[in-house]
Structure 1
Amino acid sequence: MLDALMDSAYIKSLPFLWDGLKVTVGITAVGLFFGIIIGAIAGLGKLSKSRIIRAIWTVYVEVVRGTPILAQALFLYFGISEDLIGLNLDSFTAGVIAIAVNAGAYIAEIVRGAVYSIDKGQHEAGRSLGLSQKQTMRYIIWPQAFKRMIPPLGNQFVISLKDTSVFSVIAVHDLVYKAKQYYNITFEVFETLVMVCLLYLCITIPTALYLRRLERKLDV
């Protein structure tokens, strides 16, 4: 029974798919790291008193959220030429940038919503303590807002992880790309795609369960 399982097409595909899974997780992790930075800046920018700053970040958010990530990845990989920026983007870098830019737009709304959700009395309390507006944001508002951002940021990780599946079109050697390579050689399409789905679920389900537990713990 065990020998039959180990010799099955499902298990045999795992070593090949594992390499793709590492690339998928790598792109997601690095892309989200920069996406959080971009999103924090954009979210706070949309809260700025300056109309120009608000307009700039609003345009960024609306353009990115209004276009599919596949089109963004294609634009980064094929549309931006060496003549335009002075260098060629490899597929992995293009994928990371696409995740960072795309996730950043959604994280901006998470940041903006979290900051807005803090009672205005907290702002007034900071000012009454003699803190400047920036100090009030840094020491009073941001810590409370960040606590409320954690669950939706976890959800964004799951979304971005699944978004990487489209990067096979720009030759990123992610999980889906490696799966296509494998079943083109073995013709074991069904078995390979079943394992692809299971590998995604092995990451997304534990993440979702952890987020639910964290949300209850944080009481947000």
Structure 2
Amino acid sequence: MTTIFAHYGSELLQGFGQTLLCSVISLFFSLIIGSMFAIFETTPIKFLRVIARIYIEIFRNIPLLVITMFFYVVIPLYLFKIDGFTAGTIGLTIYTSAFIAETVRAGINSVDPGQMEGSRANGLSWWQSMRYIVLPQAFRYVIPPLGNQFINLVKNSSVLAFVAGFDLMYQGNVIASDSLSTMSTYVCVGLLYLIITLPLSYWMRYLEKRLA
């Protein structure tokens, strides 16, 4: 492993940076989009509920690689050019947001309905009640499953390797074929993934205990 790091350290660090950047961007936007569709699923407006259900059912049941390849191959053919990193990040964001939407929706449904009724009785609108009363409680309930989704997102970022996203997995494949040290290369890649996922896992556990 030390030989791999010594000869290919810059490539591994570049891949690590791309993986980390993709994960942070996807995590941020998938949480926003997923929360938005979770709210749509619970709104009294039927049209928004239907839109949310269609979005979630479609993107939860299509493989991540298919979504990514759509943006990498199809979009450039008919609309505009898009690089592998961007295509992978968009695909990962859309795919993960569908699962986060279901997770947050479960948290919203876990909140006592009396909370919404009480806030409405005190003059808040439905949207205000959701924003200030229900959602903060819902997120406390769903921290463990959200943490799992975030960790899965980091691991799923390896999809960039299929679209020349220059992520950690892509660089690992290149190094393995160049050095012929397959085992050492992928052990190094696995350790670098752990550098991202383990702190994230411990941080989510800390939040869970703190907010319990």
Question: Post-superposition shift, 1:152?
Answer: 2.9
Match of 1:103 in 2: 96
- Unaligned runs of 5+ residues in structure 2 are none
Q: Which residue of 2 aligns with 1:214?
A: 207
Alignment pair present for 1:44 and 2:39: yes
TM-score normalised per structure 1: 0.89
Work out which of the residue numbers 149, 152, 158 in structure 1 matches 2:151: 158
Q: Structure 1: any 5+ residue segments left out of the alignment? A: none
1:118 aligns with 2:111: yes
Total equivalences in the alignment: 212
Q: 1:39 touches 1:105 (CA, 8 Å); kept in 2?
A: yes
Aligned 8 A contact 2:60 2:98 in 1: yes
Runs of 4+ in 1 over 4 A off after TM superposition: none
Q: Residue 88 of structure 1 aligns to a residue in which SS? A: coil
Once the two structures are aligned, what percentage of the paired residues are identical? 37
Separation (CA, whole Å) in 1 of partners of 2:190 and 2:10: 15
Structure 2 residue 170 is the aligned partner of structure 1 residue 177: yes
Does the CA-based 8 Å contact 1:151-1:214 persist in structure 2?
Answer: no
Give 2:135's aligned residue: 142
- TM-superposed deviation, 1:117: 0.8
Report the residue type matching 1:56 in the other structure: I
Rg comparison, structure with higher value: 1
SS of 2:42's equivalent?
A: coil
CA contact (8 A) 1:70 1:167 kept: no
Is 1:91–2:95 an aligned residue pair? no
Q: Is the 8 A contact 1:14 1:195 kept in 2?
A: no
1:147 Cα deviation from its structure 2 partner: 2.7
RMSD value, Cα = 1.7
Q: Structure 1: how far apart are the matches of 2:6 and 2:199?
A: 21
